[in-house]
Structure 1
Amino acid sequence: MELKELSAATLLKLVSFLFWSSLYLWCSIRAPGQSPEWRSRAVTLLHGTVATIIGLSQCGVRSLTPCQLAMKITAGHYALMVWSWGYFAFDLLWCLVYMNENSLILFHHASALIAITLYMQKDYTGCTFACTLALLEVTNPLLQIRWFLKHEGYDKTIIYIVVEALYLIMFLAARGVFGTYIIYKILQSDIFDLDEKFMSVVFYIVSIAFIYDIFGYVLYKYKNKIDEFKGFLDERGILLNESL
């Protein structure tokens, strides 16, 4: 594949990085009164939405098999890799400049850059990348919409609660359930190289770490409601009192 020449690949990734950086600068010009985080999240919302739609269309999730995961890479797969590489490079740089993200997010972005670079050097990782990208980004639009709603003061509304609930449920289902299925398919297959299996395990561990953080968030935010619900059940004899 001629696009895989080092100079061409580097140039394409640089163009992609400049595209996302320019888009951020455009947001800065069009919305000068907004914070850097607002502009960054607007860019992230675009990437997450498009990455999910295109990733799912290239994944073929309805008939997913180890052989399909290892199908020969297409020009569309490669274009998606280049497009996303530029975004993750931009967002990692933004996080390092403003230092407003934890180490898990930084590790996630750095791992994404390494994984995409690895996939771009293979001839048969197109479907695997598309599925992985869709899996990682499918809940991202909801996360950004949730942030914008909170930023505009709508965090006490029904729509905010619905968006947050959908985000939490979809995150657990996508990364916890479907992610486990994908990693199982990859690890049991003899088609994938050791480095690909290693990167898949890395992303799975990162996903589990995010799930752990989500459970902590839910317990912290809804502790009072959980206690009220437990009390409701306990009053009806569904739960035993600690004194028994």
Structure 2
Amino acid sequence: MASIILQVVGSLVAWLSLYRGFWYRNKHRSPEWSCRLVTLMHGLIVTLLSGYIALIDGPWPLTHAGDPNTTLQAWLMCLTLGYFIFDLSWCIYFNSEGILMLLHHFLSICGTVIVLALGRSATEVNAVIFVSEITNPLLQLRWFLRHMGCYHSFMGDVVDYLFIALFLALRIVGGAWIMHSVVTSSQTILVLKGGVLAMYLVSLGFLLNIVSFARRKTLKKYCTWKSKRPGVEVPKSNGHLPAR
């Protein structure tokens, strides 16, 4: 346990140091710019590692939920726990996120703490981290595109629709598959089952926002395309009656 605590503290210090370094090099920008760079780095690293663990190194989360933690799984839990402590503290300090994101961070912290304390069930938590974090780099890229004035472009459309597709395929469909394996597992403790279920409900909450966004974006694209069709004139008036 002492080793795990040291790894978590080391992870927290590493993420804080990375944030400090980004902030020092980007003093002309907002603190959120540096924080999102850290988030982007975490998303890329953790997605690759959790994907490797779930799909290659094993064990397979859909059949081995509740198994003892492997060394690599425990190391990844420590790495991501340090990040979530950093990011939750930053979000609370700057009051930058809504209740859903804060709840997501809080549940992630609780889940990783439990599996590290138990020494088991990192298999299913790792799978949850994978499907949750795989869309994160796209979310950060979208934010950077907006703040660099490049969002309203083909690249912005690719990022948005790829994010939506991955969210639906992995976080919703894949997440439901993982949730079912955890809930039906005889080795996973009840608290973790409830935590995984709560995480999925949070994902459904995000889904409502994403569906609303996708609907608005698609409708706007359709109206733009329709206005550019040959023979369709765009009204030049502003909608008010002309002055007499």
Q: 2:215 pairs with 212, 215, 219, which one?
A: 219
Per the alignment, residue 47 of structure 1 pairs with 42
CA spacing shift, 1:181–1:226, aligned 2, 3 Å: farther
Per the alignment, residue 130 of structure 1 pairs with 126
Work out whether 1:37 is the aligned partner of 2:32. yes
Check whether the contact 1:139–1:167 (CA below 8 A) recurs between aligned residues.
Answer: yes
Per the alignment, residue 18 of structure 2 pairs with 23
Work out whether 1:93 is the aligned partner of 2:89. yes
Deviations 1:47-104 (A, max 9, x none): 0001000001111279846442333211111110010001001000110111111111
Per the alignment, residue 72 of structure 2 pairs with 76
In the TM superposition, what are the counterparts of 1:133-212 in structure 2 within 5 Å? Answer: 133-212=129-208
Work out whether 1:60 is the aligned partner of 2:55. yes
CA distance in 2, matches of 1:104, 1:144: 17
How many angstroms does 1:227 deviate by? 7.1
CA-atom RMSD in angstroms: 2.1
Deviations 1:28-52 (A, max 9, x none): 1122212111101100000000100
Letter in 2 for 1:210: F
Q: Which runs of 5+ in 2 are unaligned?
A: 226-244
Check whether the contact 1:66–1:189 (CA below 8 A) recurs between aligned residues.
Answer: no
Letter in 1 for 2:76: L
Deviations 1:90-144 (A, max 9, x none): 0001101111111111111111111110111123313212211111100011111
Q: Which runs of 5+ in 1 are unaligned?
A: 230-244
CA spacing shift, 1:112–1:162, aligned 2, 3 Å: same
CA distance in 1, matches of 2:209, 2:45: 26
CA distance in 1, matches of 2:131, 2:70: 19
CA distance in 2, matches of 1:130, 1:66: 12
Q: 1:113 pairs with 104, 109, 129, which one?
A: 109
Letter in 2 for 1:128: E
Per the alignment, residue 237 of structure 1 pairs with none
CA distance in 2, matches of 1:125, 1:187: 12
Letter in 2 for 1:219: R
CA spacing shift, 1:177–1:161, aligned 2, 3 Å: same
Aligned residues: 225
Question: Alignment identity in percent?
Answer: 30
Letter in 2 for 1:200: V
CA distance in 2, matches of 1:52, 1:66: 18
CA distance in 1, matches of 2:222, 2:175: 28
- TM-score normalised per structure 2: 0.85
Letter in 2 for 1:21: L
How many angstroms does 1:196 deviate by? 1.3
Q: From the two aligned structures, give the one with the greater helix fraction.
A: 1
Letter in 2 for 1:207: S
